[in-house]
Structure 1
Amino acid sequence: MEKYKFKDIAYTCSIIEYIVRIKFLPRAEVAKLLGKDNIYDIYYGAEVWHCYTYQATASIFSEKANIPYGIYDFVQRSKVKPLNPRALGNIWAKLAIYIAEKEHIDIIDAIYDVFSNSNIEYELENSKDVDLFKDEKYVQSIYKRGYVDSMNKILSY
């Protein structure tokens, strides 16, 4: 984990999580609309962006990427009160580092993968115990299951 700037990865993931909440869109859609170039800009400019509030940075990037408002209210849909965006940002950052190391991919691609995994969205929304998400192994297993589910769908055609 030392070769990665955990603080900057967590910040980037937190900004994406804020965009999910202010734009009322699923994480996968926000990742797609934001694109890897903007994720790159958030990550590599994190030291500068820290001068702004999380909400301000999320607004700046959602406007830059022309992200529209949706009707998906993650907070309302969740069975229990979800963790705040910064706490989830730390969780997603650990998962992104895990993915980057396991798949031997760039950290930007790994962050994009974290937010594109619909299993994570579904599990988080339907969880009755959000504290489970603080366990790295639990989150990794959700990610792996999503990957396996996607591969099974592809192979079944």
Structure 2
Amino acid sequence: MVGEGRENKKDNDLFYTCSLIDYVARKTKNTRIDVVNALGKKNLERIYEYADVFHCENIDSVSDEFIEKCNIQEGQFDNVGECKYAIPTYWDIGKVYKRLIKQVSENERIEVIDALIKVYRSFISTKIDDYNSSVYYENPSYIYESYRENKML
């Protein structure tokens, strides 16, 4: 019998989905919400559903596929270039969003992709994506409570 590893499959699929969003955002210099809006719910559901397949491919080619398919244009947002400190990887940021989205989905009893859209559209997304702040490496419960209260605590 093959085990699932340390996390269940759907958690890993959400982690990949969030990491891909961050990768596309960095590559196109867009905010994460702009990428989420450009991808739309159907593509987000597709990425989440087939994340294990996409994960086997090069993330650069997967991102190119969705950038082209969704006509994501070059933006002006460059949080990587503006970062004065160590830059977190897109995998690091994917993990932050995964934890928050999972918690929102469970606590609000909504589907994962609905929670994903809700989180990326909230104020907390701009806070997480400011790599000159400390929000992205804060305790997950602190990030969740700040999200819930709609302000940094």
**TM-score, normalization: structure 1?**
0.81
Identity %: 29
What's the CA shift for 1:130? 5.9
In the aligned structure 2, how far is the partner of 1:75 from the partner of 1:98? Answer: 27
In the aligned structure 2, how far is the partner of 1:113 from the partner of 1:30? Answer: 13
Counterpart residue number, 1:154: none
What is the DSSP-based 3-state SS (H/G/I as helix, E as strand, rest coil) of the residue aligned with 2:66?
A: helix
In the aligned structure 2, how far is the partner of 1:59 from the partner of 1:142? Answer: 34
What's the CA shift for 1:77? 2.8
Counterpart residue number, 1:142: 146
Counterpart residue number, 1:83: 88
| Matches for 1:1-157 after TM superposition, within 5 Å | 5-125=10-130, 127-129=132-134, 132-133=137-138, 135-146=139-150
| 1:77-122: CA deviation from partner (whole Å, max 9, x where unpaired) | 3343331001111111111110111111111111122222233323
In the aligned structure 1, how far is the partner of 2:57 from the partner of 2:143? Answer: 29
Which has more helix, going by share of residues?
1
What's the CA shift for 1:31? 0.9
What's the CA shift for 1:128? 3.8
Instruction: Mark the CA change 1:114 to 1:99 in structure 2 (over 3 Å): closer, same or farther.
Output: same
Gaps of 5+ in 1: 150-157
- Is the 1:14–1:85 contact (alpha carbons within 8 Å) kept by the matching residues of 2? yes
Counterpart residue number, 1:152: none
- Is the 1:75–1:81 contact (alpha carbons within 8 Å) kept by the matching residues of 2? no
Instruction: Mark the CA change 1:27 to 1:118 in structure 2 (over 3 Å): closer, same or farther.
Output: farther
Instruction: Mark the CA change 1:130 to 1:55 in structure 2 (over 3 Å): closer, same or farther.
Output: farther
Instruction: Mark the CA change 1:55 to 1:35 in structure 2 (over 3 Å): closer, same or farther.
Output: same
What's the CA shift for 1:47? 1.6
What's the CA shift for 1:58? 1.5
In the aligned structure 1, how far is the partner of 2:133 from the partner of 2:117? Answer: 26
**TM-score, normalization: structure 2?**
0.83
Farther off after superposition, 8-17 or 120-129: 120-129
Gaps of 5+ in 2: 1-6
